[in-house]
């Protein structure tokens, strides 16, 4: 079940990890990578294709009041997105030119959807204080390293 369907969670943002489809990991590789991370993560709703390659999973982090839905996508849509990002980001001091150059030709991505766990009617200020981005950042870094990919924060327009 997608975290979008749960009343316990609210979607906050989506990040991308862009990489070459030839570097697509198996579900077992992703699970082992995430299991080795610091923190108390629960991995649920795991899916692989018929060859055991990663399709999707959910990472729960009750301590951070967070959840992540991670899913795989490849093909023309990703190639077009990478070309558009390469055009949009244009080289500048704030953009890593090596990462920018790598975008061209990438044809696969992980969508990493970040969710906040809702609790009984806290104020908006209290809610922002409870959501800890640690889970998101730790998992993103691990997926970038696993795939040799490039992370993208589309909200801030930055490459990770």
* Strands lying side by side in the sheet with 42-48: 42-48, 54-61, 66-74, 108-117, 9-19, 150-153, 158-159
Give this prediction's pTM: 0.89
Tokens found for residue 144: 């970038």
Low-confidence ranges of the chain (pLDDT < 70): 1-2, 4, 91-94, 120-131
Distance CA(158)–CA(160), nearest Å, equals: 6
- CA 102-105-108 angle, to 5 degrees, is 95
Residue 69 and residue 58 in contact, taking contact as beta carbons nearer than 8 Å: yes
Distance CA(143)–CA(25), nearest Å, equals: 10
Tokens found for residue 41: 């993560």
Comparing CA positions, the residue from 43, 62, 42, 65 lying closest to residue 54 is 43
Tell me the fold of 3-159. Answer: Alpha-D-Glucose-1,6-Bisphosphate; Chain A, domain 4 (3.30.530)
Tokens found for residue 142: 């691990």
The per-residue pLDDT for 88 is: 84
Domain ranges of the chain: 3-159
Cα radius of gyration rounded to whole Å, the chain: 16
The per-residue pLDDT for 124 is: 56
The per-residue pLDDT for 109 is: 98
CB 93: neighbour CB atoms within 10 A?
5
Residues 6+ apart with CB under 8 A from 157: 88, 89
The per-residue pLDDT for 2 is: 64
């Amino acid at each position: 079940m997608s975290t979008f369907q749960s009343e316990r969670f609210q979607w906050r943002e989506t990040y991308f990890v862009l990489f070459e489809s030839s570097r697509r990991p198996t579900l077992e590789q992703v699970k082992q990578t995430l299991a080795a991370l610091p923190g108390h993560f629960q991995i649920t709703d795991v899916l692989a294709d018929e060859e055991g390659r990663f399709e999707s999973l959910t990472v729960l982090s009750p301590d951070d009041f967070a959840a992540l839905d991670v899913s795989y996508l490849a093909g023309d849509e990703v190639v077009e997105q990478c070309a558009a990002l390469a055009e949009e980001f244009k080289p500048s001091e704030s953009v890593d030119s090596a990462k920018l150059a790598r975008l061209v030709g990438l044809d696969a991505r992980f969508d990493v959807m970040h969710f906040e766990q809702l609790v009984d009617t806290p104020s908006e200020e209290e809610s922002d204080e409870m959501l800890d981005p640690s889970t998101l950042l730790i998992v993103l870094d691990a997926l970038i390293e696993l795939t040799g990919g490039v992370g993208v924060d589309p909200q801030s327009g930055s490459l990770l």
